[in-house]
Amino acid sequence: MTASLTPAERSTELSQRLQRVRSRISSAAAGAAAPTLIVVTKYFPASDVHLLAGLGVTDVGENKAQEAAAKASSVQAQGLKWHFIGQLQSNKAKSVVRYAAAVHSVDRLSLVTALGKAVAAEQARRTQAGEQPRADLDVFLQVDLREQAAGGGLSGAGASRGGALPQELAGLAEAAAETAGLRLAGVMAVAPLGADAGEAFARLAALSGELQRDHPGADAISAGMSGDLEAALENGATHLRIGSDILGPRPAVR
């Protein structure tokens, strides 16, 4: 669909779509601090990341370890920050910490441990190789926002979109805060399918408040995609993850 466009035409298209999203953000965020816009480039080629960087985009998001690693190594854009936002297997931690500034999908203790080890190893490797040091990894704890029944079970509202249960957050936060190489940034969630995004993000904001009682610096809220960025901003989102409204509809699932 986009294959027939020249780079200049594609850049114009991306620029227009980016502009529309930015004006939606500024009308929804009116008054509040401007959120960080993470442009989700999954399924789109490295050439698009390059064009976006040229349009002033500073943060990009990817959700598949292999695709992200390949793209990050082929795009040499100064100061571009990569955010890993998809479900992550612990054995991919080593690869992800080579390029990612943040992981938004941390949902279990074993992943906290794996990321901590991987960052420490990568920091040591860069020191030895005389390369630029790697900063600590920003960790967002992903929460499953599906409504829980009184007994703790998840009531029928759709399939899991990843994430820890709300009652697991405090323990995960403690572990991340104590792990060298990691910086606990805050929480992340995807609105459950079929749920009211505003209600879901209000629950996320409350969980963020609880988290900040023990970890005052962990004030980031990563929430809001193309379809629900307004609801996310109304509920305090600091990081938006926007894909299709900027890149266009994703190619059919591979």
Instruction: Show the tokens assigned to 155.
Output: 């009531």
Query: Quick one: which segment of 25-33, 90-98, 147-155, 243-251 binds ligand PLP (CB under 6 A)?
Result: 243-251
Told to check if 63 binds ligand PLP by CB under 6 A, we report yes
Told to check if 113 binds ligand PLP by CB under 6 A, we report no
Distance, in Å, from the CA atom of 19 to the CA atom of 11, rounded to the nearest integer, reads 12
Minimum distance from residue 246 beta carbon to ligand PLP (Å): 8
CB 85 within 8 A of CB 62: yes
Residues numbered 128-147 forming contacts with ligand PLP, rule: CB under 6 A = none
| Interacting residue with ligand PLP among 183, 202, 244, 248 (CB under 6 A) | 244
Distance, in Å, from the CA atom of 105 to the CA atom of 114, rounded to the nearest integer, reads 13
Minimum distance from residue 40 beta carbon to ligand PLP (Å): 4
Residue 126 or 203: the one with the smaller Cβ distance to ligand PLP is 203
Told to check if 112 binds ligand PLP by CB under 6 A, we report no
Residues numbered 72-101 forming contacts with ligand PLP, rule: CB under 6 A = 85-86
| Interacting residue with ligand PLP among 119, 190, 204, 237 (CB under 6 A) | 190
User: How do strand 100-106 and strand 81-84 relate by DSSP bridges?
Assistant: parallel
Distance, in Å, from the CA atom of 31 to the CA atom of 116, rounded to the nearest integer, reads 37
| Sequence-ordered alpha helix ranges (H) in the chain | 7-28, 46-54, 65-74, 93-96, 109-129, 169-178, 197-214, 229-234, 244-247
The residue with its CB nearest to ligand PLP is 243
Distance, in Å, from the CA atom of 94 to the CA atom of 210, rounded to the nearest integer, reads 31
Distance, in Å, from the CA atom of 105 to the CA atom of 87, rounded to the nearest integer, reads 6
Minimum distance from residue 120 beta carbon to ligand PLP (Å): 26
The interface mask with ligand PLP, positions 15-44, x = CB under 6 A, is: -------------------------x-x--
Minimum distance from residue 190 beta carbon to ligand PLP (Å): 5
What are the φ/ψ torsions at residue 32 (nearest 5 degrees)?
A: -75, 165
CB-hemisphere CA count at 13 Å for 36?
17
The interface mask with ligand PLP, positions 220-239, x = CB under 6 A, is: -----xxx------------
Minimum distance from residue 49 beta carbon to ligand PLP (Å): 15
CB 100 within 8 A of CB 75: no
Three-state DSSP at 100 gives: strand
Contacts with ligand PLP, residue ranges (CB under 6 A) = 40, 42, 63, 85-86, 190, 225-227, 241-245
